[in-house]
Amino acid sequence: MVTKDIIYVGVNDRLIDLFEGQFTVPEGMAYNSYIVFDEKIAVMDTVDKKFGDEWLTNIKTAIGDRKPDYLIVQHMEPDHSANIVKFTDAYPEAVIVSSDRAFKMMQNYFERDFADKRIVVKEGDALSLGKHTLNFIAAPMVHWPEVIMTYDSCDKVLFSADAFGKFGALDADEDWACEARRYYFGIVGKFGAQVQNLLKKAVNLDIEIICPLHGPVLKENLGYYIDLYNTWSSYGVESDGVAIFYTSVYGNTKNAVGILMNELIKSGCTKVAVTDLARDDMAEAVEDAFRYGRIILATTTYNGEIFPFMRTFIEELTERGYRNRKIGLMENGSWMPVAAKTMKKMLENSKEINFTGTVVSIHSAVKKENEEQIKALAKEILQ
């Protein structure tokens, strides 16, 4: 139960291996759906296709012999919209409420636009259920173009679509921020400007509860969650420290990274996060690159450019608008190191990037001159 009049009817997915075909979710996923009870009943969103029957059972258990009047569709991604037709088959008199763009997407998904049972809403529109009034907020590109969010002014609840969501089923006992951060930068991160626009709208609402489409209902200390979203979407720095991302073929670059880590710690750096891009989770690496304000990229020259995992990593960053960071570079190459030059070029269109003057350039194995370069790099990245 969210409030006296708002009931949770979502499901937990413990069968999933990869969310959106790419993100590992060892603790599963939650697909959230809610019911607002009043003189009229509104169901908020559906769930993933695999759980349609369970979801309809949850609805039936919650409403008994009553019939829902509305299905509010905030987001057309299939993990939230796959059961629209199944819902209308079960409740043929219910009206679907969504944005114009969402109804066009329904035509693409289902070859139906529900023209005989729909209400098209836009920014500023409202729907009265009785004492509860649902106020609609346009949230384009957070993170699809059709997205609307819904504010219930009676219970002061924001139904936030995918915003403020996280990886993990609701029966998972884990820290919110870690998996919410990975979710944000993996899925929403490119659209920081759009999230900032949404937060400006949220400032004008009296919000006591946030109901996202993934993850737990947020009822306490909402300022904490909103502040994190503001930091993430403005490309701000969340944590002090240095993050090092490396690839190594025969262990020499890894050895240099170990020397660098020790130098940073000796110099007073309280947190050094080290990621082997070939072995560690790429989404976790992207999360850390946005979390810290200072990073080191260390890789080998490979086929005349850089090792594939580093190339993929930098592409993941630039795709998401990486900016406002201090970056140090370390390269290795047996006869013609070009990795630093290649990495810098890949980041040339990223805004507000400050590269250190020191570049560590290793020819095969770490030598005395490289140790001096590493000391200089550690000093400079911490300045």
pLDDT at 313: 98
Segment 169-173 shows an average pLDDT of 93
CA proximity to 183, closest of 147, 216, 135, 149: 216
Has residue 198 got a pLDDT over 90? yes
pLDDT at 114: 94
Has residue 335 got a pLDDT over 90? no
pLDDT at 71: 98
How far is the CA of 125 from the CAs of 46, 96, 121, in angstroms? 22, 15, 6
- Residues 25-84 have pLDDT tens digits of 999 999 999 999 999 999 999 999 999 999 999 999 999 999 999 999 999 999 999 999
DSSP 21: T
User: Over pLDDT 70: what percentage of the chain?
Assistant: 100
pLDDT at 264: 97
Identify the band that residue 194 occupies on the pLDDT scale cut at 50, 70 and 90.
very high
In order, the DSSP letters of 233-253 are HTT---EEEEEEEE--SSSHH
As beta bridge partners, residue 276 has 246
Please count the residues of the chain: 383
Q: Could you give the CA distance from residue 319 to residue 331 in angstroms, rounded to a whole number? A: 23
Residue 132 · residue 70 · CB < 8 Å:
no
pLDDT at 210: 98
Q: Could you give the CA distance from residue 81 to residue 52 in angstroms, rounded to a whole number? A: 10
Q: What is the mean pLDDT of the chain?
A: 96
Has residue 113 got a pLDDT over 90? no
Q: Could you give the CA distance from residue 190 to residue 317 in angstroms, rounded to a whole number? A: 9
Sheet holding 6-8, edge to edge: 6-8, 34-36, 42-44, 70-72, 95-98, 118-120
Q: pTM value? A: 0.91
- Residues 20-31 have pLDDT tens digits of 999 999 999 999
Phi, psi (deg, nearest 5) at residue 351: -85, 150
Residue 158 · residue 207 · CB < 8 Å:
yes
Residue 60 · residue 67 · CB < 8 Å:
no
Identify the band that residue 173 occupies on the pLDDT scale cut at 50, 70 and 90.
confident
pLDDT at 343: 97
Domains and CATH numbers, the chain: 6-233 (3.60.15.10), 242-382 (3.40.50.360)
- Residues 265-306 have pLDDT tens digits of 999 998 999 999 999 999 999 999 999 999 999 999 999 899
CA proximity to 182, closest of 274, 283, 277: 283
Reading the block at residue 336, the tokens are 């013609």
Q: Could you give the CA distance from residue 33 to residue 30 in angstroms, rounded to a whole number? A: 10
Has residue 246 got a pLDDT over 90? yes
Sheet holding 133-138, edge to edge: 126-128, 133-138, 148-152, 157-159, 209-211
Has residue 108 got a pLDDT over 90? yes
Residue 269 · residue 382 · CB < 8 Å:
yes
User: Over pLDDT 90: what percentage of the chain?
Assistant: 96
